[in-house]
Structure 1
Amino acid sequence: MTHASSLRDSDNNTTTYVSNEKFSDIQKQDVEQASDVFHNIDEKKVLRKMDLRLLPMLSILYLLCFLDRGNIGNAKIEGLPEELGLVGPQYNLCLTVFFFTYAAFEVPSNLLLKRLRPSIWLPSIMVAWGVVMTLMGVVQNYAGLLTARIFLGVAEAGLYPGVAFYITMWYCRHEAQYRQALFFSSASIAGAFSGLLAYAIAKMNGVGGYSGWRWIFILEGLATVVVGFISFFVIHDFPETASFLTKDEREWVVARLRNQNTDSRGRQLVDEETFSWKYVRDAFTDWQVYLALIMYWGIVCPLYGISFFLPTIIKDLGYSSSTAQLLTLPIYITAAIVSVIAALFSDKAGQRSPFILGFFLCIIAGFIICIVSSGRGVPGVVYFGTFLAVVGIYPAFPGNVTWLSNNLAGGYKRAAGMAIHIGIGNLGGAMASNFYRTQDAPKYILGHALELGFAVAGTLAVLILRFSYQRVNFRREEALANEDSTTGPSVATSSERGDRSLTFRYML
């Protein structure tokens, strides 16, 4: 009995289904089929060209996005609350409101990306949030800061889910996590740069009559606007129109996406899509999206809790502001390196859940260390706990997003499903914004405990999702065993049901 898998040709809005014994057999078969037709194409050379032309700019975009989103944590220890007269929970509320608009606008943004050119949509929203970030440097009170954070959420909403979906338009499923990790690792690098830049920019305190924290917002916002305008001319839309590829290479990229799933007789089962709200409804009613959402919260709550409060946590261990800024560097740089290495092994193994599970255990261990060692006069141990937690958080994130995208078939359904997953998932940031309270300093036991609880819930979600996928795959194999071995499931049935087809196999 052969297994069946489904992968997506996003560029042509098609879903293909294939019977195969193992996912690795599909990869081998794809290469062999492509080689027969495009015998002059050097696969590694073309993929390297794609990586060099696509990933650096995407990484820079997300680096600036995450930098602009999280630099408020650096501004906080440089005097922002005191100058704006923030009292009580007002600082935390400024963090929280960002996620409400961020979550609300992710699904419509991804649908617009599907219909518009990425080279227009992505740079446009980047310029928009750069302007908002720059203006955040001139706010005068709590109301101004709150309003700026609301509009920052609107502008930034489309970038991460948009780029995550954009990558699936260029790369096959077994190549996705490595590229997602390269792209997302810029977030951890942003964390490192944030501390370094804040340390340097804060020295401008008093220049032009502005405080150092204001210059953090102004200069980083202006940098985003400049890069946004440049990206209009650098981002490529689709493989069919990629000027950096030759005609044969463009055809080969499109063909390998289309041919990555064929059955044992070389037959393609293709579903040509035009937009329909049915695909959006399918995404909203798919059980796996909501189970993956719990897993997402288990990662994103610790992610934002660390992103917004790590400088404060380190400072409250007894370090100066400048030292606290610099001590964030080794944590984030290590996390970026581990993310890329883990993604390489995950793609090679064709497995997602074992790696995600392992990193969840790192997160859990890190927060346990923070809880048991806080207030005991061992700041180095607490620092190690945060180090371990971050090294678990950042590699787990691209694996989490890639795993769901691998298991959603259909361009519009995947676009909507990923936006729901990431959009509602980022409401975890709204929760995490309130975990670390001023009155809990310097131990922050409540914040660490809440992060630990979400990480445990995420771990359980990984296990349930893996076992659920296995069970569904097994049942579909049994159902297919009862089909006519000559004709198999009909093309219509497979194409209409997408990832709910009997011929679709979930990646584990």
Structure 2
Amino acid sequence: MGVSDQEKGFDERSEMKGGVINDYHDAAGHGHIATDAYGNSLVQFDPAAERRLRWKLDLYTVPTVAVLYLFCFIDRANIGNARIAGLTEDLNLVGYDYNKILSVFYISYIIFEIPATVCCKWMGPGWFLPATSLAFGIVSVATAFVHSQAAICGVRFLLGIFEAGMLPGIAYYLSRWYKRSELTFRLSLYMVMAPLAGAFGGLLASAILKLPHFGSLHHWRMIFAIEGIITIGLSLIAFVTLTDRPETARWLTQEEKDLCIARVKSERLAQTEVIDGIDRVKLWRGISNPVTLQIAFIFLFNNITVQGLAFFLPTIVGAIYPEYSTVQKQLHSVPPYAVGAVFAVAFPALSWYLDRRQIFIILSAPTVIIGYAMFLASETPSVRYGACFLIASTCMVLGTMTNAHISANVVSDTARSSAIGMNVMFGNIGGLIATWSYLVKDAPNFPIGNGLNCATGSMIFILSISGYFWMKWDNNRRDKKNVEQELAGLSPEEVANLDWKHPGHSLHISNIWAIMNPHATGTTTALDPPNQRWKDQWEAFNDKDEQAVQLYNALVREWNAWAKDDAAEKEDNWIELIERLRIMPDQRAPGFSRVAWYPESDIMAHRYNENGPSFVRVFPDMFDKVPVRGTVLQGNPQDSSSHENNNNTPQQSNHPQESDLS
């Protein structure tokens, strides 16, 4: 049952219908869209070519931004290490002075968050990220020479300005290169640098404190100076190694550039460019997206915990073990961060494998709640130190998950930049609150800080659950709309500017059952409409087009033959079958939309088209995971002729993007 040369040729030909192109070389071109009216991809990709491209992207883009973010976070959080190394005494800080210094950083960070993100888009992240890294490296070195509270407040304010665009800028940068399902794991590879900064920063600070003094630089001043110099060196290297966009990547061939652009464009509804110009309408679309606002509040509550750990974990460890030396306290702050780093990569890796995000946001909250409850309920040092591990295990995950979730639920490049900036801005409001969560007067038990973080964990759980159900409701509401009628009279530019308000756009949410049963099998459903939206078309189908039933049943028979023959579960066989189903009968051009295995559990479904022949739609997404066994049942008992006798040409599916468990 090999694939004929004629059949193989279908994916290599470009078919243009009203500006829509199936060949990825053409889809990558300016002015062409790569989705239908419902956001379904019109482009067929070679999985092997995609895998090769991903490896190349992972090698050239992720390491540079990950290392930059590592030292970005170290330069921000090293004040916690400096505090127990003599900063408080040298600068005569008393009472709430330390908390005030921390707050100044977040005030500038919050104010400049969205402007910095827009500036990143305007300059291009390939230039913006190294430039801002160079700036905050210089500021970190300058911190080593301050001698008053006013001076350190000034440099921390500048540090907030220059670091404001770093986290959202990297998330935005990676969204230029990766598809939605791939982005979460790649974000984790740089976001994991936050807990690693806590672990590595503690080790580095311990090592620096053992170095001999250099002139007037000693103790905590050496921490700021050496770590700042390292940041400056890395930023200069990044100017050379960081590529701004696929089109300018010298390390990609032209074919790989086209594939990279087309892959990203194939997930962006009605967009003719991957990287569009700055547009006020689209900027507002990103900020006003209900998903952006809901997730931003989750990140706000989460960052109270994350930044609280970053600034106060050495202090908390010191309160748990007051008899320890300064170096011992620094070293005991490392293991919880190491555990957090493992989970910060493990959860996103699972998210990539399952193509789900929302469920991991939900699951991250309970461990934080339990951890802070342990702090409140016990004064035993081992219990409290153990609680640090429990808290760090999942609180570090949400930086990745929230930015990936927001990126998946806006459409245009401009909206994505503002949405991510909005999310990080809210997160840093949480960071500002965190600076006042652990006060000197509350030591050693810190009931206010621990109680606050227990409450924020509860709010994350409530918001994530309620957000899940709201998105399901909104998707159902969109399913009832007639997209063609909604878009009637709009120009292509006006359609593109709709962004997430486009009636064909579906919010990417989670199907919890699919997480529990990721390899469950199912059968095709009978010839019934999937929802009320298609009732009229299906009634017309029953009266007007018997050939669709014949084609449907012919494909079912073909599928059953392969299912019985697949004793070895060879993935290549299943993929080849999908390719055959796409092009049957002969002369049928490929035109299936983006498809999903969950939540419908359908392998294939036929669609009636009022303006043209009907066809069968195949659901092959599960084949890039694990082959699924089982015989598919015919959805209609009536007899049908062989598929070779059917000459239906499929039109694009009038079906919105299925919700994935994002």
Structure 2 length normalisation: TM-score? 0.69
| Structure 1 residues 16 and 180, CA gap change in structure 2 (3 angstroms) | same
Matched, 1:223 2:230: yes
Aligned to 1:143: 150
The alignment of Structure 1 onto Structure 2 pairs a total of residues equal to: 479
- 8 Å Cα contact 2:130-2:238 kept in structure 1: yes
Residue 178 of structure 2: aligned partner = 171
> Helix, strand or coil: the match of 1:88?
coil
Deviations 1:338-395 (A, max 9, x none): 121211211222221111111111111111111111xx3x211101111111111111
1:181 pairs, out of 188, 204, 217, with: 188
Q: What is the alpha-carbon distance in structure 2 between the residues aligned to residue 308 and residue 425 of structure 1? A: 15
Give the superposition deviation at 1:121: 1.2
Is 1:501 equivalent to 2:502 in the alignment?
yes
Q: After TM superposition, list the pairs within 5 Å mapping 1:474-489 onto structure 2.
A: 474-480=476-482
Q: Against the structure 1 CA distance between its residues 250 and 10, is the aligned structure 2 distance closer, same or farther, given a 3 Å change threshold?
A: closer
Say if 1:12 and 1:75 are closer, same or farther in 2 by CA, change over 3 A: farther
Q: CA separation of 1:11/1:294 partners in 2, compared to 1, >3 Å: closer, same or farther?
A: farther
Q: Give the deviation of 1:18 after TM superposition.
A: 4.6
Mapped partners of 1:13, 1:80: distance in 2: 57
Q: Is 1:34 matched with 2:35?
A: no
In the alignment, which residue of structure 1 is the partner of 2:283?
Answer: 280
- 8 Å contact kept, 1:15–1:495: no
Partner residue, 2:413: 411
SS of residue in 2 equivalent to 1:105: helix
CA contact (8 A) 2:285 2:499 kept: no
Separation in structure 2 between the aligned mates of residue 450 and residue 15 of structure 1, nearest angstrom: 48
Q: Distance in 2 between matches of 1:119 and 1:355?
A: 31
Q: For residue 357 of structure 2, what is the aligned residue in structure 1?
A: 352
Match of 1:306 among 309, 315, 324: 309
C-alpha change, 1:58 and 1:467, in structure 2 (3 Å) is: same
Q: 1:13 to 1:139 in 2, by over 3 A?
A: farther
Structure 1 residue 473 and structure 2 residue 475: aligned? yes
Check the 8 A contact 2:117/2:169 in 1, yes or no. Answer: yes
* SS class of match (1:204): coil
Secondary structure of residue in 1 paired with 2:61: helix
* Candidates 80, 83, 105, aligned match of 1:76: 83
> Which structure carries more relative contact order (alpha carbon 8 Å, separation 6+)?
1
Q: Aligned letter for 2:463?
A: A
Q: Note the C-alpha offset of 1:144.
A: 0.8
Q: 1:12-38 CA deviation, whole Å, 9 max, x = no partner?
A: 799865578xx9xx78x85xx123xxx
Q: Out of 425, 428, 442, which is 2:427 matched to? A: 425
Task: Name the CA distance, whole Å, in 1 between partners of 2:406 and 2:180.
Answer: 11
Q: Distance in 2 between matches of 1:67 and 1:296?
A: 20
Offset at residue 114 of structure 1 (A): 1.4
Structure-2 separation of matches of 1:445 and 1:12: 58
RMSD (CA atoms): 2.6
Distance 1:94 1:261, change over 3 A: closer
Counterpart CA distance in 2 for 1:461 and 1:489 is 38
Q: Is the 8 A contact 2:297 2:426 kept in 1?
A: no
Residue in 1 that maps onto 2:71: 64
Partners of 1:330 and 1:44 in 2: CA distance: 35
Query: Which residue, out of 372, 375, 394, partners 1:370?
Result: 375
- Specify the alignment match of 1:99 in structure 2: 106
Matched, 1:110 2:112: no
Aligned residue for 2:250, secondary structure, equals: coil
The Cα of 1:205 is off from its aligned counterpart by 6.1
Alignment match of 2:326 (pick from 321, 330, 346): 321
The one-letter amino acid paired with 2:142 is L
- Quick check: 2:268–2:412 contact (8 Å CA) kept in 1? no
For residues 94 and 251 of structure 1, the distance between their equivalents in structure 2, rounded to whole angstroms, comes to: 48
Which residue of 2 is the match for residue 3 of structure 1?
Answer: none
Q: Which residue of 2 aligns with 1:243?
A: 250
- CA gap 1:18/1:381 in 2 versus in 1, 3 angstroms: farther
Aligned partners of 2:166 and 2:32: how far apart in 1?
24
Distance of 1:413 and 1:211 partners within structure 2? 47
Report the CA distance between 1:260 and its aligned residue. Answer: 4.0
In structure 2, distance between residues paired with 1:483 and 1:131:
55
The one of 332, 340, 345 equivalent to 2:337 is 332
Contact preservation (8 Å) 1:298, 1:456: no
Residue 386 (1) aligns with residue 397 (2): no
Pairwise CA distance, 1:420: 1.4
SS of residue paired to 1:171? coil
Q: Deviations over 1:238-272 (max 9, x none)?
A: 1111111122111211122223468xxxxx66478
The two structures have a TM-score, normalised by structure 1, of 0.89
Deviations 1:47-81 (A, max 9, x none): 11110111111100000000000000000011100
Cα distance in structure 2, aligned partners of 1:460 and 1:316: 32
Distance in 2, Cα, partners of 1:224 & 1:79: 23
The match for 1:129 is 136
For 2:294 and 2:404, the matched residues in 1 are separated by 14
Superposed CA deviations along residues 167-223 of structure 1, whole A, max 9, x for unmatched, are 100001111100001110111111111110111111236442433111000100111
Gaps of 5+ in 1: 1-8, 263-267
* Aligned-partner SS, 1:232: helix
458, 461, 471: which one pairs with 2:460?
458
Task: Calculate percent identity across the aligned residue pairs.
Answer: 29
Query: Normalized per residue, which structure has more helix?
Result: 1
3-state DSSP of counterpart to 1:436: coil
Cα distance in 2 for partners of 1:12, 1:151 equals: 40
Distance of 2:64 and 2:125 partners within structure 1: 13
Residue from 290, 295, 312 that aligns with 1:292: 295
Q: Please say if residues 265 and 273 of structure 2, whose CA atoms lie closer than 8 Å, have aligned partners that are also in contact.
A: no
Task: Check whether the contact 1:283–1:289 (CA below 8 A) recurs between aligned residues.
Answer: yes
C-alpha change, 1:11 and 1:239, in structure 2 (3 Å) is farther
Aligned-residue offset at 1:134: 0.4
Which amino acid in the other structure matches residue 371 of structure 1? Answer: L
Once residues 29 and 131 of structure 2 are traced to their aligned partners in structure 1, the CA distance between those partners, rounded to angstroms, is 22
| 3-state SS, counterpart of residue 426 of structure 1 | helix
Output the amino acid matched with 1:469.
M
Could you say what secondary structure the match of 2:137 adopts?
helix
Q: Secondary structure at the match of 2:73?
A: helix
Shift of 1:483: 6.1
Q: Distance in 2 between matches of 1:269 and 1:283?
A: 15
Give the distance between the partners of 1:212 and 1:15, measured in 2 at CA: 58
Question: CA contact under 8 A between 1:18 and 1:261: conserved in structure 2?
Answer: no
Which has the greater radius of gyration? 2
**Partner SS state of residue 181, structure 2:** helix
* Residues 142-168 of structure 1: per-residue CA shift (max 9 Å, x gap): 111111100000111111100000110
The match for 2:61 among 43, 47, 54 is 54
Counterpart of 1:505, as a letter, is: S
Could you say if the C-alpha distance between residues 327 and 491 of structure 1 is closer, same or farther in structure 2, counting changes exceeding 3 Å? farther
Shift of residue 320, structure 1, vs aligned partner: 2.5
SS of 1:34's equivalent?
A: coil
The amino acid that maps onto 1:465 is G
Structure 1 Cα separation of the partners of residues 249 and 259 of structure 2: 12
